[in-house]
Amino acid sequence: MPLEHLWASWRSAYVQGGSDRDASPELGESGSLFERILSSDAADSELGILVRGTTCFVLLNRFPYTSGHLMVLPNRAVADLEQLHPDEFTELWALVRDAVTALKAALGCDAINVGINLGVAAGGSQSDHLHVHCVPRWSGDANFMTVAAETRVLPVSLDEVHSRLRAVWSEG
């Protein structure tokens, strides 16, 4: 049985007459999933893109472990760290630092997990395109819902997380 997600954002999109990201934007058909997202004509807010750098970008995870779960990726699909050009490596880690700073400011989390799954055996579902996960954590955020009901409770919607992070993101 797959892990379910329970969005507990108080149905604000429904109450306001909109939808809550059920529809996926149209993506191109070539390249890795992340390259297709990056090259889409849809608005960055619809795609979940927070920041576009010169060689890397920051993307909200559409299926997060916790509210605010984001990824920092090079623009081009490379599978391993050693395949990054020096400018990509530098920008990737600068954006990871900025992401951690923004997550703390926007969401008030108690901690953040930062990690990379390199290769399928490491648990990487998109192992063709390296990405660094930044996962905000709160004391007590692991509870019975994930263990007993195989469901995650996500109290902040993707749209709200995107707005909060964009409001505090340092681009300079």
Three-state DSSP at 91 gives helix
Q: Which two tokens stand for residue 124?
A: 């990487």
**Catalytic one of 69, 131, 133, 162:** 131
Q: Alpha-carbon distance 146 to 115, whole Å?
A: 21
Tell me the C-alpha to C-alpha distance, in Å, between residue 87 and each of 54, 78, 92, 117: 9, 14, 8, 21
Q: Nearest to residue 58, comparing CAs of 44, 75, 72?
A: 72
Tell me the C-alpha to C-alpha distance, in Å, between residue 105 and each of 42, 51, 139, 161, 165: 27, 16, 17, 12, 8
The alpha helices in the chain, defined as continuous H runs, are 12-15, 33-39, 44-47, 86-107, 144-149, 158-168
Q: Which two tokens stand for residue 3?
A: 């892990």
Q: How many residues does the chain have?
A: 172
Is residue 85 annotated as part of the catalytic site, yes or no?
Answer: no
Q: Which sequence positions are flagged as catalytic?
A: 131
